[in-house]
Amino acid sequence: MAKGKTEKKAKVKKSSKLDASPKEIAARLEASAKEMVESIKKKQDPEFITKQRGKSNVNFDEDSGLIELGLKETTRNFLNIGHAKKFMQTTLVAEKTHDYLKQNKTASIREIYYELKHTIKDTKENTFDGQIESDSVIVDLEHSVDTIREKLNLHANPKGTLYGDITLVDVVHNKDTFNASKLGRGGWSIMSRIEPEEIKIKKIDADYILVIETAAMYERLVEEGFPKKHRAILVGTGGQAARGTRRLIHRLYAESKIPVYVFTDGDPYGWYIYSVIKQGSMALAAHSGLLSVPDAKYIGMTLDDVKTYGLENVTERMKEGDIKRAKEMMKYPWFQTKEWQAQLKKALTEKIRIEQQALANKSLDFVAKEYLPQKIKKKDFLP
Amino acid sequence: MAKGKTEKKAKVKKSSKLDASPKEIAARLEASAKEMVESIKKKQDPEFITKQRGKSNVNFDEDSGLIELGLKETTRNFLNIGHAKKFMQTTLVAEKTHDYLKQNKTASIREIYYELKHTIKDTKENTFDGQIESDSVIVDLEHSVDTIREKLNLHANPKGTLYGDITLVDVVHNKDTFNASKLGRGGWSIMSRIEPEEIKIKKIDADYILVIETAAMYERLVEEGFPKKHRAILVGTGGQAARGTRRLIHRLYAESKIPVYVFTDGDPYGWYIYSVIKQGSMALAAHSGLLSVPDAKYIGMTLDDVKTYGLENVTERMKEGDIKRAKEMMKYPWFQTKEWQAQLKKALTEKIRIEQQALANKSLDFVAKEYLPQKIKKKDFLP
């Protein structure tokens, strides 16, 4: 892993993905289609080039701090019987997303699956036999035209909430301008698409961004008046962060440069949520540069907190899944710091986990009045 | 079932639950505690009275259209070795919620569990050995002082989103006043607590409320400009509606009297989501009067839609869990209409389900331009 860094870094940093307009993306789709048509006219076998996925083409770049997709390509040929169906599916999705871009429409990945699914005339063959097939083709297409699905006007389900002194503008929705500290205690429901051409971050008045795993802890901190007192923006992920929420966190950091602290349950699942926000994931390795925040810091919960704050009585036993996950995480290149190795080892030795809400054992306001302010003051973070 | 209707109806309709102020609820808790103290002083066995739960004390009242808890009571005695631990737990939760009310604090049901969990001095006995124990005591207490947990300043996790021309005021948060059609396409993230003393519904300008199961369909309708064109308020539940979201739907209807239409996937799970919104659930039978909307109508998806709209190619096979659920639902008194019996029978015969998003098979805007407007125009609802 992590060979040929400069090459790969340049790849992530190049701005084509970020800056490409819907028009440009549409042009790339057209160019790819034209090539196929040319091949057919010349009685050649049309081909479609995308990137190899899977572990063998994923690298962790220590300089950028990102999980990245390598340069290995894969070619699909129409006249190869093993490729033909997928080839057909790819052209269907390419045509449909091209339509979306032209018509200024967006669709969920489930909708495009349903929209394209049909039985091919005079056969019993379906275009798609499950969403898994269209999802896979969408990833191929993202890599092929070097963009993210959001730029193909596709999106996954929304999840996540935003609270704090930040003013957003929804450019394509009456230019709605609203401040996420003035929507009562509920906050703003984060959309599945947070592309800059749609949602503008107009103003942030805050010292840091606090990303929170559980909805209940988000509500606790709002109730305690934490965001105002500590000039914090809160992002509630409600478990693993959705793509839209990751994109928003990425943009908040990229556009404001204020620090990002991540606050999850003290267990392998929580730490994994953190790592996805920080370094990205293997499944979306090609898009880490648009979705991740390598400078993010981990504020808690750690298993050391148990002793420090006397929480011995409110730990829980780790489940089998957590133990398995911890063992896998110990091997990931992006968990090779001594702090994280120690943390994972502790988890595997003591087999306990500690939830964010277990801090209520001290008192309800302990998290807002002592735990978080102390950690930030002492810079008591994990890397 | 459904015997002694008037008696039970009166119970649900009496306004004590709705109108009780935090002060009144606190007074009820105090009265209950004083009685215990008096008993102890008189060397009598202190007791705690709550309602019986479970099927044997749950009725469906056809007149009110609500699932209701009956009048059967249960008494717990401190000097009964089988009751003693639960008695202790009940007094702990009662004392703590009384504190919350006095201090104007709220807590999630997980937080109160953590806050109260400790090892009793000089013993190895924990006050609570899992959240299941404190959750159960919370329900006892709700019934005992005749209120909902939200009035004891407790709450579950928030989930759900609101969009449309409705103006809310968060009375206890700087009197924030905001219109849920002006927050971009994201909408407002519905809080876990929607009590009238905290959230006021200032103004609704709409012809109906459309409750939607999936977040993706909610986004589709927002993108199509459906709420503005059809003067609709959208409530996205994201699966089974959370308590806060049910409370909001109940209040929207109670305070505006505009119709509530529910739009879910066409499968037993979706229909069950509808029934919980309409008639309530057995688990929360005591609170149907505060959480449900007996006048709600079901707009779709139905299995008849498959033929009507030519969706044969985009149905899915029902899973085992759905089949089991359909069989159970056929027996529920609140599914004894001919329309629902026919629907459930069809599900069990054809063993297919149809998702909301499958309407994309016609075209992305089909749901907004044809499906929903036609159903509403023809009043093509299930009861």
Instruction: State how far the Cα of B176 lies from the Cα of B194, in Å rounded to an integer.
Output: 14
For the record, the structure tokens of A82 come out as 């093993």
For the record, the structure tokens of B254 come out as 């109670």
Q: How far is A333 from chain B (nearest CA, A)?
A: 35
Token pair 């927002």: residue: B222
**What is the mean pLDDT of the segment spanning A206-216?**
96
Helix B84-103 crosses helix B22-41 at what angle (to 10 degrees)?
140
ipTM value for the complex:
0.87
What is the DSSP annotation of A64-125?
Answer: TTEEEE-S-EEEEETTSTTTHHHHHHHHHHHHHHHHHHHHT--EEHHHHHHHH--BPTTSS-
For the record, the structure tokens of B164 come out as 């449309």
Place A18 in a pLDDT band, splitting at 50, 70 and 90. low
Q: Sort out which chain A residues have CB atoms less than 8 A from B215's CB and list them.
A: 157-159, 192
Q: Which of A114, A159, A364 sits opposite B361 (nearest CB)?
A: A114
The reply to whether residue B189 touches residue A187, judged by beta carbons under 8 angstroms, is yes
State which H helix or E strand residue A161 sits in: strand A161-163
Token pair 């899915």: residue: B316
Q: How far is A356 from chain B (nearest CA, A)?
A: 10
The CA–CA distances, whole Å, from A366 to A163, A350, A373, B316 equal 20, 25, 10, 49
Instruction: State how far the Cα of B112 lies from the Cα of B117, in Å rounded to an integer.
Output: 8
Specify the amino acid at residue B322. D
Token pair 């009598």: residue: B44
Q: How far is B86 from chain A (nearest CA, A)?
A: 20
What is the structure's pLDDT at B19? Answer: 63
What is the structure's pLDDT at B18? Answer: 58
Q: How far is A178 from chain B (nearest CA, A)?
A: 6
Beta bridge partners of A91: none
CA A237 to chain centre: 11
Specify the amino acid at residue A357. Q
Q: Sort out which chain B residues have CB atoms less than 8 A from A360's CB and list them.
A: 107, 110-112, 114-115
Instruction: State how far the Cα of A233 lies from the Cα of A228, in Å rounded to an integer.
Output: 9
Tell which residue, A137, A140, A181, A134, has the closest CA to residue A161.
Answer: A181
Give pLDDT tens digits for B335-366. Answer: 999 999 999 999 999 999 999 999 999 999 99
Give me the total of CB pairs closer than 8 Å, taking one residue from chain A and one from chain B. 162
Interface test with B, best of A101, A104, A114, A369 (most B CBs within 10 A): A114
What is the structure's pLDDT at B237? Answer: 97
| pLDDT exceeds cutoff 70 at A131 | yes
Give pLDDT tens digits for A243-258. Answer: 999 999 999 999 999 9
Q: Sort out which chain A residues have CB atoms less than 8 A from B112's CB and list them.
A: 360
DSSP state at residue B126: B
**What contacts B236, CB < 8 A, 6 or more positions away?**
B160, B161, B162, B163, B187, B212, B214, B215, B217, B218
| pLDDT exceeds cutoff 70 at B10 | no
What is the 3-class SS of B5-59, one letter each residue? HHHHHHHHHCCHHHHCCHHHHHHHHHHHHHHHHHHHHCCCCCEEEEECCCHHHEE
| Spatial contact of B263 and B213, defined as CB atoms under 8 Å apart | yes
Cα atoms found within 13 Å of the Cα of residue A171, Cβ hemisphere only: 10
| pLDDT exceeds cutoff 50 at A5 | no
What is the structure's pLDDT at B21? Answer: 85
Tell which residue, B194, B274, B192, B180, has the closest CA to residue B222.
Answer: B180
Give pLDDT tens digits for A162-208. Answer: 999 999 999 999 999 999 999 999 999 999 999 998 999 999 999 99
Sign of CA dihedral B180, B238, B274, B222: positive
Give pLDDT tens digits for A70-118. Answer: 999 999 999 999 899 999 999 999 999 999 999 999 999 999 999 999 9
Average of per-residue pLDDT values in chain A: 92
Of the candidates B100, B113, B114, B309, the residue annotated as catalytic is: B114
Average of per-residue pLDDT values in chain B: 92
**What is the mean pLDDT of the segment spanning B196-204?**
94
The CA–CA distances, whole Å, from A330 to A241, A319, A346 equal 22, 17, 11
Tell which residue, A191, A202, A200, has the closest CA to residue A106.
Answer: A191
Tell which residue, A190, A210, A212, has the closest CA to residue A201.
Answer: A190
What is the structure's pLDDT at A11? Answer: 29
- Write down the pTM of the prediction: 0.90
What is the structure's pLDDT at A323? Answer: 96
State which H helix or E strand residue A204 sits in: strand A199-204
Q: Is B147 exposed, middle or buried (0-12, 13-18, 19+ CB in 10 A)?
A: buried
Instruction: State how far the Cα of B71 lies from the Cα of A368, in Å rounded to an integer.
Output: 43
Specify the amino acid at residue A365. D
For the record, the structure tokens of B212 come out as 């939607």
Q: Is B100 part of the annotated catalytic residue set? A: no
Give pLDDT tens digits for A287-333. Answer: 999 999 999 999 999 999 999 999 999 999 999 999 999 999 999 99
**What contacts A238, CB < 8 A, 6 or more positions away?**
A159, A160, A161, A213, A214, A215, B159
Q: Which of A111, A161, A188 sits opposite B360 (nearest CB)?
A: A111
The reply to whether residue B117 touches residue A173, judged by beta carbons under 8 angstroms, is no
Specify the amino acid at residue A226. F
What is the structure's pLDDT at B20? Answer: 81
Q: 3-state class of A317 per DSSP?
A: strand
